[in-house]
Structure 1
């Protein structure tokens, strides 16, 4: 579809090459290399403090890299005039003048970036704020501010869109709306990068993933590839002869853990093999249920060593 002023055709990409940001002795982003392509939603994931927001700010030219490069459509974003004519972004939904109305806020941005005023009404309608457009932003809920931030990103009708934690404060209806919006934008051929620390939400929205931890790249691949690499198969077993079965399975190389509800969790062996061994050893089974770990569990497992603070650190 045609985009707003000065954008041309679809196909713009975000390219990072050895992108690095240091603050004194602290390395916030460490030699990140990735590409974000149009046509699908790319989830940008990592624990809190992983360097996601710093990376987004470097993409937008708000922070200068200490090393490496990042470009949008082959050019650094820093120095581009009228930024809303090139990339639409939501970085901080609270970073608005509370005394202004939603309409006046968007109107000022449209004027300063040379965008048509009609876009103000269009995006307010699209994000569901048309009926409160003249209310002061200071009276908005967090979810309403998130919608206004998304409206700001959409104002220029751009081929490249960045969203930092866009689901914060949204109710379930709002979350479903955002998921559908991002999928539609990507289906139109736009480049859509969504930063989040919530794998559970991204598995419903993203097709591609960039996962970082402590500023370093952990994965850059499709959602399906990430799931296959990160998940592990477990089998839940219930039997009145748990001790005997655990001994049999351990001898065959499986890892078996007794649970508080009386069941056993088996890893390293499939349900078919467990059933065969139970039958051969005359062990009665009440349950034999294979289970794949969720994508959120895969995310937690792959990023466990990259979490800045864990519950055990607080002492």
Structure 2
């Protein structure tokens, strides 16, 4: 289990993370979401002891990561797939990690096989594609067979087959009772991967709940109705306080009134319905609505650098 309590990180006058508190429990894939510059990577680095917090604390199974001996046996993490020595082979890179954490050499071949890199184990990493480097980073995270796993933007560079594979991997790890935290800014990916969400913006907590509960916060829920009398039904629904959009022909899109009430009103007025289909708000719609005032888009455009990275660079603390 990962516990974050009052975590704060400042770089001079810039606050990258502010009083952040959340818990990631075992048995679920938890998505860690936020716009670019929200402080996700900074938070992960503090959890792993790579950045020292200005205030607050983060623990893994009740202790700071630094107090876990042979860290890969307790926590596996992929933060930056490019942060490897390009002159080493994949096998040599993993053997060095295994030796430093007291792990048996057989784990190297096992994880290379699991991530689909066994055939290129002796190739230099410098010749790997981004997708292959991502797989190697995942192999490193799995090396110690840890109960807690953290991944930062793990699908970058993966082809469609790789994306499907990594989704299945995360679900399997969670089903085994492990704690799985996946950081991403891709809403579509979280819809296909996560059970629960921790959502932040400008370093502050926005939500900590199930994916379904978060999506339900969005105002994008609607009902599609098909009827041979669209004008009459639209007039009835307008009196009920609904917002009605005519989609051409016999179709209406209705917001502000749920499907059951639309059916009741149509029945009362003897209006025939050919279709009545509720549409829930998407995760992306909810995310955009709830983070609209928490994204530092202006800074992204002006500098081309993610705001949390810019804060680190200004303070001389870039990773």
Q: What is the TM-score when the length of structure 2 is the normalising length?
A: 0.84
Q: Which residue of 1 aligns with 2:130?
A: 142
| Distance (whole Å) between structure 2 residues aligned to residue 63 and residue 285 of structure 1 | 60
TM-score w.r.t. the length of structure 1 is: 0.85
Equivalent residues, number: 300
Q: CA deviation at 1:180?
A: 1.5
Pick aligned residue for 1:199 from 187, 197, 200: 187
Residues 143-188 of structure 1, C-alpha deviations (whole Å, 9 max, x = no match): 1111000001011111111111111111121111111111221222
Distance across 2 between alignment mates of 1:21 and 1:111: 33
Give the alignment of 1:169-208 within 5 angstroms. 169-208=157-196
Greater shift in the superposed pair: 200-209 or 160-169:
200-209
Given candidates 38, 52, 56, the residue that maps to 1:50 is 38
Whether the 8 Å contact between 1:28 and 1:215 is mirrored in structure 2 is yes
Are 2:216 and 2:281, in contact at CA under 8 Å, matched by a contact in 1?
A: no
**Pair 1:295 & 2:306 matched:** no
Cα 1:37–1:281 change in 2 (3 A) is closer
CA RMSD of aligned residues (A): 2.6
Give the match's secondary structure for 2:162: helix
Q: Is the 8 A contact 2:8 2:56 kept in 1?
A: yes
Distance in 1 (CA, whole Å) between partners of 2:155 and 2:221 is: 30
Q: Look up the match of 1:236.
A: 224
Looking at structure 2, the residues matched to 246 and 185 of structure 1 have their Cα atoms a distance apart, in angstroms, of 49
Distance 2:199 2:212 in 1: 14
For residue 261 of structure 2, what is the aligned residue in structure 1?
Answer: 273
Are residues 174 and 15 of structure 1, via their aligned partners in 2, closer, same or farther at CA, if it must alter by over 3 Å? same
Contact 1:248 1:277 in 2 (8 A): yes
Q: Is the 8 A contact 1:231 1:295 kept in 2?
A: no
1:78 match: secondary structure: helix
- The change in CA–CA distance for 1:25 and 1:246 in structure 2 (over 3 A counts) is farther
Task: Find the aligned partners of 1:205 and 1:303 in 2 and give their Cα distance.
Answer: 20
What is the rounded CA distance, in whole Å, between the counterparts of 2:290 and 2:228 in structure 1? 35
SS of the aligned residue for 2:237 comes to: helix
Q: Do the aligned partners of 2:220 and 2:285 also contact (CA within 8 Å) in 1?
A: no
The alpha carbon displacement at 1:267 in A equals 0.7
Residues 1:62 and 2:34 are matched in the alignment: no
Is the contact between residue 39 and residue 202 of structure 2 (CA under 8 Å) also seen in structure 1? yes
| Matches for 1:1-315 after TM superposition, within 5 Å | 13-78=1-66, 80=68, 82-230=70-218, 232-237=220-225, 245-258=233-246, 263-277=251-265, 288-309=276-297
Q: Distance in 1 between matches of 2:63 and 2:249?
A: 58
2-structure distance, mates of 1:243, 1:220: 42
1:89 and 1:108 mapped to 2: Cα distance?
16
CA deviations over 1:235-260 (Å, ceiling 9, x no partner) = 22456876665444333211234558
Whether the 8 Å contact between 1:89 and 1:163 is mirrored in structure 2 is: yes
